[in-house]
Amino acid sequence: MKNSPNLLQDDSLDFNHFAASTLYQKIQKLLSAKSGRVNIALSGGNTPLPILNILKTENLEWSRLSFYMVDERCVLLDDVSSNYGNISKVFFDAIESDSYSMVLEGKSYEESALAYENMLEEKLPKSSSGIPQFDLILLGMGDDGHTASLFPNTKALGEIYRRVVVNEVPQLGAERITLTYPVLLEAKELIVMLKKQGKEDIINELYSGKSTNYPMLKIVTNRHDLQWLIG
């Protein structure tokens, strides 16, 4: 079945400002659509950082927003590759929102993943399938079609019960902590943000109807409302 991506933007002169303004409008809508807390999960990597650095200057009801991580590298928080550490520097440290690191000091990565899973069960409302449900999840995509830390040919791709797992990624020679498909697929809204260089072919293949080994394909085929913010 061939369909096309729901493009929110492409080829903008200044992608980061456009993306930040799109997220601002999206979050405003979420805040006005419900009372209480709005729960958002952020992916790591480089793309989100300049966008969040702009978004933090917007006038939002930050105290009603809670930010979670989509995935994390198995490193300490002060490591240069820590997603939570990097997003804290440009975003969390400047806003009045709750934010929750996946890696917990003094806990193993497995213990951190379990604790995160228990926290999601406790803090998030449940979907009709009984799965912790985010109001919005921001995804990225790697040039191997991975999303979150669901990499091609890794164990976490097949996880259908756990919400958060440690995923061994042999192609990186590293472990990651990641949300699993059941949680990603239950989000009320899903936006992929990426810079397209080197990834156009993947996007076209994802919407070609062909079966591919890209972990993003499961999201594309199950969520026709998936929104793409492409620079």
The answer to whether residue 215 forms part of the interface with ligand 6PG (CB under 6 A) is: no
Min dist. Cβ of residue 41 to ligand 6PG (A): 10
The closest of 35, 64, 65 to 52, measured between CA atoms, is 65
- Pick one of 148, 177, 183, 216: the residue that binds ligand 6PG (CB under 6 A): 148
Q: Extract the tokens encoding 214.
A: 């890209």
Q: Which residue among 27, 44, 163, 217 contacts ligand 6PG (CB under 6 A)? A: 44
How far is residue 199's CA from residue 143's CA, in Å, rounded to a whole number?
Answer: 6
Give me the 71-100 binding string for ligand 6PG, x by CB under 6 A, dash otherwise: x-----------x-----------------
CA distance 140 to 229: 10
Q: Is 41 in the site for ligand 6PG (CB under 6 A)?
A: no
Nearest residue relative to ligand 6PG (C-beta): 140
In DSSP terms, 69 is beta-bridged to 42
Binding of ligand 6PG at residue 184 (CB under 6 A)? no
List, in order, residues 6 or more apart from 25 with CB less than 8 Å away.
Answer: none
Q: Which of 106, 89, 37 is nearest to 67 (CA)?
A: 37
Tell me: does residue 175 bind ligand 6PG (CB under 6 A).
no
d(CA 189, CA 137): 6
Residue 147 touches ligand 6PG, criterion: CB under 6 A = yes
Which residues of the shown chain bind ligand 6PG in the complex (CB under 6 A)? Answer: 43-47, 70-71, 83, 140-142, 146-149
